[in-house]
Amino acid sequence: MDLQLTGRVAVVTGASKGIGLAVTRTLLDEGARVAAVSRKSGADLDALAGPDLLHVAADLMDPAAPAHAVARAVEAFGRLDVLVNNAGGPPPGTALPRFGFLTPTDDDWRAMYEFNLFAVVRAVRAALPHLLDSDAAAIVNVSSGNARRPGPMNVDYNSAKAALNNLTKGLSEEFAPRGVRVNTVSPGPVRTPWWTEEGGAADILAGATGSDRVAVLERVAPEMMGLTTGRLAEPQEVADVVALLASPRSANTTGAEFAVDSGYLKEL
């Protein structure tokens, strides 16, 4: 299926690995031009180098970074049609999961909201003047199934993602009538570096459950989280949905949330 993204310009945050890398690769494959935003590049992102890819080195914990990234994209490609707010999860220097409400401090809460909510607010604010000039504009916010399954693990992260879901709906109500569709993709656990890197979620859960990294990824986490498919999702499976929502083929889809979560969410 032609997603009609040829020549479109997208900004993708958190683009150097995991879901963001898969989104960047997919949009490029569909003919889009992509400004890939991350603190630093990496071998996998470098492998995509070409005239349709711009890497923007930016730390989204810096309040000026989202506007800088948008400006660089417009400077390089002359327009903006798609904003994918993918960066999120543990702020730089933070490891998740964290257990219990009393564990995160005020500083932890501030950092979590800075990375998972305020950076999105700033990116949308910077992008909207350009998106409003597009004939097929789209914003896709990458949230989490935990936004709708609150609990005592990662309570600050879950709360920030719930706020992001609310923001998405509000943005859609205001700007979809003006031609900017806004949707959410909510992954469950995805086999990304957040899980697989040394000291990441798999290692933390292994320590908490008396297991090991491989067992956590293959069995313990899917069982603990009640994953209907029995496995963590792959980044490409999330990226495919993001690309469809970014596409003009989804011209009448807005204010919606799409779960790519291995059956994690059970609620109607």
Distance of alpha carbon 156 from alpha carbon 109, whole angstroms: 6
pLDDT in tens, the chain (268 residues): 899 999 999 999 999 999 999 999 999 999 999 999 999 999 999 999 999 999 999 999 999 999 999 999 999 999 999 999 999 999 999 988 999 999 999 999 999 999 999 999 999 999 999 999 999 999 999 999 999 998 898 999 999 999 999 999 999 999 999 999 999 999 999 999 889 988 888 998 989 999 999 999 999 999 999 999 999 999 999 999 999 999 999 999 999 999 999 999 998 8
By DSSP bridging, strand 180-187 and strand 257-260 are parallel
Which domains does the chain carry? 9-190+234-260 (3.40.50.720), 192-232 (no CATH)
- Spell 186-221 as b/e; 16+ CB within 10 A means b: bbbbbbbbbbeeeebbbbbbbeeeebebeebbeebb
- Picking from 212, 262, 214, the residue whose alpha carbon sits closest to that of residue 234 is 262
Q: Residue 224 has which token pair?
A: 């603990």
> Is 264 tagged catalytic?
no
Catalytic choice (77, 113, 115, 157): 157
Look at phi and psi of residue 31 and say left if phi exceeds 0, alpha if psi is from -120 to 50, else beta: left
Q: Report the Cα 238 to chain-centroid distance in Å.
A: 9
pTM, 2 dp? 0.96
